[in-house]
Structure 1
Amino acid sequence: MTVGIYRVVGMACGHCERFVTEEIEQIPGVTAVAVDVELDTVTVTSEAPLDIAEVRAAVEEAGYELPDTQP
């Protein structure tokens, strides 16, 4: 298992959390997603390391931004 923590810009509420979670869960190999709206972070557990481009595409599909600089 691999855990990645990503900074996501633009989330403000539970709806944001749901949209981001649903999109990231569609990435092959993802086993869990935990969104912290207050800290602007998403913790993703996966079977193997994820390609940042896939994570960025999922976040953007949800309507938010994954900045170039990550925690």
Structure 2
Amino acid sequence: MSTTTEYVVTGMTCAHCVKAVTEEVTGLTGVTDVAVDLTSGALTVVSDTDLPFSEIERAVDEAGYTVAPA
């Protein structure tokens, strides 16, 4: 069973930003799909299990941005 979780990323300004966030979050264990919307900052993560927010936060921070639960 998969879990879909929504977040909001701030600080993104271009397609490169979206790519950076997508790559970092996709690299997390258990993540099966990632969608990032530049305009709204929406980050949708589909995973095999519930991921702790701290893991998402660390991945988005590694990309250079800030994230919060939606």
> TM-score interval w.r.t. the shorter chain?
over 0.9
Correspondence 1:29 to 2:27: no
Which structure shows the higher strand fraction? 2
Q: Within 2, Cα distance between the matches of 1:34 and 1:12?
A: 16
Identity of aligned residues (%): 43
Structure 2 residues not aligned, in runs of 5+: none
Using the size of structure 2 for normalisation, the TM-score is: 0.94
Task: Compute the RMSD of aligned alpha carbons.
Answer: 0.7
Counterparts of residues 14-25 of structure 1 (less than 5 Å): 14-25=15-26
Please list the CA deviations of residues 27-48 of structure 1 after superposition, one character each: whole Å capped at 9, or x if unmatched.
Answer: 1000000000101111000001
SS at match of 2:67: coil
Q: Within 1, Cα distance between the matches of 2:13 and 2:37?
A: 10
Letter in 2 for 1:58: A
Cross-structure match for 1:56: 57
Structure 1 residues not aligned, in runs of 5+: none
